[in-house]
Amino acid sequence: MTPIFAHGSLRLYLLSLLAERPRHGYELIQALSDRFGGTYSPSAGTIYPRLAKLEEEGLVTKTAGDRKTVYEITDAGRAELAARADDLANIESEVTDSVRRLADEVRTGVTEAMKSLRADLASAARQKPPEPTKSSADARPTGEANLALKEADMVLNEFRQQVRADLRTQAYRSTMPSDTVSELRRQLDAVRASIRSSLTR
């Protein structure tokens, strides 16, 4: 999900970031990406025109260094922030909601993937073991297969608990990348395919 700033909201958010400390353009882009958990990363073409406008309005100043131009909020800019404190609080609330929704989506994806893996393992455990032959004399006994199923189930539970703990940490830090859900699903699908392949050998 990509958060969309309402008219004037990005301008205000840039001021709030500069109120924390002076920054150059790339630092502002990175700070916005971090605040939105990677779900929103503005382009230079989005940021610099707004910085130029803020400078024209006397809300920020810029200092050209050797290789980077650093922007700093002015007293007028701080007054603007103070006057629009409620608006800024609403933006911060939307950021938090966006990250939490993404975390919930990841949790749902993990739960569904775990159920699917368990179903595959349980189905394999219920299959009739092959008759002992020269080619299958080393096949696993049913008891050993059931034990392996229980161990696999424990591993899946541990994995899900670890992911949930990581998500809680990431949600509060707002550093979750935007492609987390799709990448997690891709990796879990690959693991599932590998398990299914080994079970049908």
pLDDT in tens, the chain (201 residues): 444 566 677 889 899 999 999 999 999 999 888 876 666 678 899 899 999 999 999 999 999 877 889 999 999 999 999 999 998 888 778 777 766 776 677 677 777 777 777 777 777 666 655 555 545 445 455 566 667 667 777 777 777 777 766 665 554 444 455 566 666 777 777 777 777 666 655
Q: What pLDDT shows up at residue 1?
A: 42
Cα distances from 104 to residues 4, 65, 129, 163, 176, in angstroms, run 20, 43, 40, 12, 12
CB contact burial 13-29 (16+ within 10 A = b; e otherwise) = bbbbbbbeeebbbebbb
Give the separation between CA 171 and CA 102, rounded to whole angstroms: 9
Cα distances from 7 to residues 26, 50, 84, 100, 120, in angstroms, run 22, 12, 14, 24, 50
Q: What pLDDT shows up at residue 50?
A: 93
| pTM, two decimal places | 0.50
Q: What pLDDT shows up at residue 92?
A: 77
Give the separation between CA 39 and CA 30, rounded to whole angstroms: 12
Q: What pLDDT shows up at residue 98?
A: 66
CB proximity list for 8: less than 8 A, separation 6 or greater: none
Q: What pLDDT shows up at residue 96?
A: 73
Helices (H), the chain: 9-20, 25-35, 44-56, 75-83, 85-126, 142-173, 180-199
CB proximity list for 40: less than 8 A, separation 6 or greater: 2, 3, 32, 33, 178
Q: What pLDDT shows up at residue 159?
A: 76
Give me the DSSP letters along 62-93.
EEE-SS-EEEEE-HHHHHHHHHTHHHHHHHHH
Q: What pLDDT shows up at residue 3?
A: 47
Cα Rg for the chain, rounded, in angstroms?
26
Q: What's the one-letter identity of residue 34?
A: D
Q: What pLDDT shows up at residue 81?
A: 93
Tokens of 79: 């007054």
